[in-house]
């Protein structure tokens, strides 16, 4: 599996690393083995049906992307980003999103050169909430973890043998220092996933979460709907 990973230096700038990993999973309970088999089969089928040579994955150093990563070489985008920002107005969020979009541009370049699929690492919680950068980490060919909630991914990561320190570290897009997903979303992921599971089953009225928390998550979903839709097209009357 080919991959690009992201590292942060002492100045908070980010570098991106491409790597190849062949280790898929360690021993796990039957349900986790079943999930992993489905994920592996999904990726294999997509690669085969699209006549690609494999996948390329962006690794942020966080939970979702830490499925596999050893050995590597660095692709540093910091200097390019700094040069671009010289001609752009200063804006913290836009600058952070630029990092994600530059990384995705590199991933697609690498994929084009090597006839690969770009593998997105967003999980179901992030996709439902729209907690991703449009045309950044949200731009991918396949999302193998897209039907697993964040809490599911954490449990799976433990069964795969990933370090507990990694699994339990605060989730973060890592586009600026000390950024955490839960502080921005306003709730911990165990509560978020409880609400999202109820929403998916159309059982919000039976959800144990308080109304203000449910409203907060629905606000996130509604305001990010554009991220999950194809851009509108102006229809011309002939």
Does any domain span residue 181? no
Does any domain span residue 158? yes
Does any domain span residue 139? yes
pLDDT (average), residues 59-73 = 56
Does any domain span residue 189? no
pLDDT at res. 61: 62
Six-digit token string for 94: 């836009």
Q: What region, left, alpha or beta, does residue 142 occupy, with left being phi > 0 and alpha being psi -120 to 50 degrees?
A: beta
Does any domain span residue 229? no
Which of the four pLDDT bands, split at 50, 70 and 90, describes residue 19? very low
Is the pLDDT at 63 greater than 70, yes or no? no
Does any domain span residue 50? yes
Does any domain span residue 186? no
pLDDT at res. 18: 32
- Using one digit for the tens of pLDDT, what is the confidence trace for 150-208? 999 998 888 888 888 888 888 888 777 788 999 999 999 999 999 999 999 999 999 99
Which of the four pLDDT bands, split at 50, 70 and 90, describes residue 105? very high
Handedness of CA 139, 143, 148, 153 (dihedral sign): negative
Structural domain of 94: 2-175
Q: What does the mean pLDDT of the chain come to?
A: 82
Does any domain span residue 233? no
Q: Following DSSP, what letter does each residue of 78-137 receive, concatenated?
A: HHHHHHHHTTS---HHHHHHHHHHHHHHHHHHHHHHHT-EEEP---HHHHHHT-S-TTTT
- Using one digit for the tens of pLDDT, what is the confidence trace for 82-101? 999 999 999 999 998 999 99
Is the pLDDT at 77 greater than 60, yes or no? yes
Report the domain count for the chain.
Answer: 1
Higher per-residue confidence, 12 vs 75: 75
Kindly report the pTM of this predicted structure. Answer: 0.79
Is the pLDDT at 27 greater than 80, yes or no? no
> Three-state secondary structure along 110-125?
HHHHHCCEEECCCCHH
Q: What is the share, in percent, of the chain residues with pLDDT greater than 70? A: 82
Is the pLDDT at 2 greater than 80, yes or no? no
The domain that contains 157 carries what CATH number? 3.40.50.620
Is the pLDDT at 13 greater than 50, yes or no? no
């Amino acid at each position: 599996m080919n991959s690009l990973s992201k590292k942060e230096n002492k100045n908070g700038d980010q570098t991106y690393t491409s790597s190849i990993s062949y280790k898929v999973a360690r021993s796990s309970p039957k349900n986790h083995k079943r999930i992993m088999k489905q994920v592996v089969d999904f990726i294999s089928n997509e690669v085969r049906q699209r006549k690609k040579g494999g996948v390329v994955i962006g690794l942020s150093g966080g939970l979702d992307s830490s499925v596999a990563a050893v050995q590597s070489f660095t692709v540093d985008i910091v200097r390019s980003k700094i040069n671009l920002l010289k001609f752009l107005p200063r804006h913290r969020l836009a600058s952070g999103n630029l990092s994600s979009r530059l990384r995705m541009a590199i991933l697609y370049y690498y994929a084009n050169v090597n006839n690969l699929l770009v593998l997105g690492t967003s999980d179901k919680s992030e996709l439902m909430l729209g907690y991703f950068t449009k045309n950044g980490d949200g731009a991918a060919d396949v999302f193998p973890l897209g039907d697993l909630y964040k809490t599911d991914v954490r449990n799976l990561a433990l069964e795969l043998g990933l370090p507990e320190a990694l699994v339990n570290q605060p989730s973060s897009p890592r586009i600026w220092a000390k950024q955490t997903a839960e502080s921005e979303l306003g709730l911990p992921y165990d509560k978020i996933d409880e609400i999202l599971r109820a929403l998916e089953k159309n059982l919000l009225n039976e959800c144990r979460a308080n109304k203000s928390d449910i409203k907060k998550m629905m606000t996130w979903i509604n305001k990010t709907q554009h991220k999950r839709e194809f851009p509108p097209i102006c229809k011309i009357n002939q």
